[in-house]
Structure 1
Amino acid sequence: MKVPCPICGKITEYSRENPWRPFCSERCKMIDLGEWGNDGYRIQGEPGSADRMSPEEFEDAARRADELEARLDAGKQSGARRRRR
């Protein structure tokens, strides 16, 4: 599968043969790592906001995450079935 490199946008192969996937090169992979290390990327929300969730909110978030994971797994399985045919 061909995907754009998240750093430079160059189209690159997303497969086991590409040791830097999803990046096009070690350079782009290291740039991305540096962004995380320098707080260039941030996860949305207040720090520790999950700690302030009510038990019901936490359970709802966990349920939604489980549903999303199940849908993603189902998509991967159907894709694998299509490739085998």
Structure 2
Amino acid sequence: MTVVSCPTCGKKVEWTAENKFRPFCSERCKQIDLGAWAEEKYTIPGGPPTDPQDVPPSGQ
């Protein structure tokens, strides 16, 4: 059986089909993480968005 740490609180959690909150230990920890995403506390690195009007059409 695989055991992981809850991303929110660090508690050890069994990774099984019966654990409906995996990788979190509880619904509370899952909601805390969702709230952090909603408040933009987490970011995914990437370049600035490209405006399609700034990109020349192919073949020019």
TM-score bin, normalised by smaller chain: 0.7 to 0.9
Task: Determine the C-alpha separation between the residues in 2 that align with 1:47 and 1:21.
Answer: 33
C-alpha root-mean-square deviation of aligned residues, in Å?
1.6
Moved over 6 A (4+): none
Find the counterpart in structure 2 of residue 46 from structure 1. Answer: 47
> Larger relative contact order (C-alpha < 8 A, sep ≥ 6)?
2
Q: How far off its partner does 1:14 sit?
A: 1.2
Q: Percent identity?
A: 54
Query: Which runs of no fewer than 5 residues in structure 1 stay unpaired?
Result: 52-85
Q: What TM-score, normalized to structure 2?
A: 0.74
Matched positions, count? 50
Q: What TM-score, normalized to structure 1?
A: 0.54
State the structure with more CA Rg: 2
